[in-house]
């Protein structure tokens, strides 16, 4: 029984192979005449490769930091003057990461606007910190345009800085003006609320205006009556003053 099944399977496999070989020969024959009509064979197309444009480099706001400057944790250590040149180079900004450079830049911007050496939480200091963060993210997004996470963080920082500048402008205009001038910030007024006029909104607005005008017409007689009463009281008061004798006059 097993021998019969094996022979049946082998015969079916051979028939299938012969069928595929026949199909392949027919496809090859058809392909010689017209390749574009065959659903299985396609012509190779040499598409032009996209030209990658090099992005223009923008000047970094960290370029003004000297490479010989020491990192923030080692700046105020007196023993640092006695170390070797190799060690000093390792502790300088030349071998520092961008995160450490941004920290120093934040302190430099804050020192320009802070009121006292211990001022770390005033509005102008917060604006300086946010300015350094925004400029760092702008440089990063210039090279990595699809980084949506950092783009969202940058927009949040911009909104936060605008809110602080608005409050500073309304309360301390001289400090606001000095902060914008020192940090090179161009303050732009927020746009007015603009709503697209839809047909439903136009109809609702027209109905509200009509109801308001009808209400004013109903209140007009009452207001006229109140005004007349007020004028009568005023005239009566003036007449009493004129009729009463003034103080110090002879009887």
SS (HEC) of 210-230: HHHHHHHHHHHHHHHHHHHHH
Give dist(CA 145, CA 148) in Å, integer: 8
Longest Cα separation, the chain: 154
State the pLDDT confidence band at 201, using cuts at 50, 70 and 90: very high
Q: In the chain, pLDDT over 90 holds for what percent of residues?
A: 45
**Domain ranges (residues) in the chain:** 72-182
State the pLDDT confidence band at 39, using cuts at 50, 70 and 90: low
Look at residue 34 and tell me whether its pLDDT is greater than 80.
no
Q: Which residue has the higher pLDDT, 15 or 84?
A: 84
Stretch 8-17: mean pLDDT:
48
Look at residue 3 and tell me whether its pLDDT is greater than 50.
no
Stretch 35-43: mean pLDDT:
60
Cβ–Cβ < 8 Å for 58, 142: yes
Look at residue 154 and tell me whether its pLDDT is greater than 90.
yes
Tell me the CATH number of domain 72-182, given options 1.10.287.10, 1.20.1250.20, 3.40.50.300, 2.160.10.10. Answer: 1.10.287.10
Stretch 156-185: mean pLDDT:
95
pTM greater than 0.75 (yes/no): no
């Amino acid at each position: 029984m097993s021998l019969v099944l094996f022979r049946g399977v082998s015969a079916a496999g051979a028939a299938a192979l012969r069928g595929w070989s026949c199909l392949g020969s027919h496809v090859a024959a058809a392909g010689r005449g017209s390749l574009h009509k065959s659903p299985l064979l396609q012509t190779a197309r040499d598409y032009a490769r996209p030209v990658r444009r090099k992005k223009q480099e923008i000047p970094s706001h960290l370029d003004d930091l000297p490479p010989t400057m020491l990192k923030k944790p080692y700046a105020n250590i007196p023993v640092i003057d006695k170390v070797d040149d190799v060690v000093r180079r390792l502790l300088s900004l030349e071998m520092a990461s961008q995160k450490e450079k941004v920290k120093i830049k934040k302190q430099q911007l804050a020192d320009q606007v802070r009121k006292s050496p211990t001022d770390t939480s005033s509005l102008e200091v917060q604006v300086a910190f946010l300015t350094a963060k925004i400029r760092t993210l702008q440089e990063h997004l210039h090279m990595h345009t699809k980084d949506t996470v950092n783009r969202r963080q940058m927009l949040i920082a911009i909104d936060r800085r605008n809110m602080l500048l608005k409050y500073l402008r309304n309360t301390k205009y001289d400090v606001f003006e000095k902060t914008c001038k020192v940090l090179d910030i161009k303050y732009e007024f927020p746009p007015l609320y603009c709503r697209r006029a839809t047909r439903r909104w136009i109809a609702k607005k027209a109905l509200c205006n009509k109801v308001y005008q009808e209400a004013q017409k109903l209140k007009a007689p009452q207001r006229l009556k109140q005004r007349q009463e007020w004028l009568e009281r005023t005239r009566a008061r003036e007449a009493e003053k004129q009729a009463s004798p003034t103080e110090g006059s002879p009887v």
